[in-house]
Amino acid sequence: MIKETLEQVREEIRDAEKLAGRAEGSVALMAVSKLHTYENVLEAYACGQRLFGENHVQEVEAKFPLQRPEGMVLHLIGHLQSNKVNKIVPLVDGIDSVDSLRLLEKIEKAATASNKTIEVLFEVNTSGEEQKSGFVSDEALFETLSHAGEMPHIKVKGLMTVGPLGGDADKNRQAFRRLRQLRDECQKRYPSLDFSTLSMGMSGDFPIAIEEGSTMVRIGTAIFGPRNYNL
């Protein structure tokens, strides 16, 4: 039951906040609903969940109605190809996987056309794994950030990373620590931008991410169960 698993995850987040000496409620919960049905999304919504994350443009199009329940917030968290930007921008409130200046420029253009503001996080490849998306070079990230302030339909909110595969706790901690240090550096270099969101931590590693300063955890499996690849 989603009611029980959601309550369990909320409790584990509260425990991790306490353990890390962080304020209660300082970590937001994003429910990652990829490869789960819209009925499951509504069930979580009925239990008070408002923030949802999806990975694929096509799945968002197919799954979510244009008219959503009051207060439901949807972000794209998976890699975004530039030829799908025009499709996704009207459908989401945020894009948490921006990984190039070119992509950011396209999002600004599409958001202008849709007459809306899009919240963005910049994804950083903190593990160096080749199959991961995200900025590899800090310089490319800084270059992108130096233009972000001039884009009126883009609202910078912070950074995002996916921890290394394999579940080695020390490696995950290192990746999360690196994202936090990079965030501090970004805030110093671009004081007029908002870097308050540090999106890191998934079902397998979120307590470590919270210890390392995460302000948003992205949880799929621990809430919805195993993904249904035939969906």
Ligand X SMILES: *Cc1c(COP(=O)(O)O)cnc(C)c1O
Closest by CA position to 142, among listed 118, 126, 122 = 122
Tokens for 3, please give them.
Answer: 């009611």
Nearer to ligand X, 186 or 202 (CB): 202
Nearer to ligand X, 108 or 123 (CB): 123
Packed helices 2-19 and 38-46: angle between N→C axes, nearest 10 degrees: 60
Shortest reach from residue 130's CB to ligand X, in Å = 16
Nearer to ligand X, 151 or 220 (CB): 220
DSSP state of 135: B
Shortest reach from residue 143's CB to ligand X, in Å = 24
Q: Is the dihedral of CA 137, 164, 30, 97 positive or negative?
A: positive
Nearer to ligand X, 60 or 162 (CB): 162
Shortest reach from residue 77's CB to ligand X, in Å = 4
For residue 106, the SS3 value is: helix
Nearer to ligand X, 198 or 202 (CB): 202
What are phi and psi for residue 120, nearest 5 degrees?
Answer: -130, 145
Residues 208 and 202: their CA atoms lie apart, in Å, by 10
153, 108 Cβ separation under 8 angstroms: yes
Nearer to ligand X, 34 or 63 (CB): 34
Shortest reach from residue 80's CB to ligand X, in Å = 12
Shortest reach from residue 202's CB to ligand X, in Å = 4
Shortest reach from residue 209's CB to ligand X, in Å = 11
Q: Which residues bind ligand X (CB under 6 A)?
A: 32, 34, 55, 77-78, 162, 202-204, 218-222
Closest by CA position to 95, among listed 75, 79, 117 = 75
Tokens for 20, please give them.
Answer: 């890390």
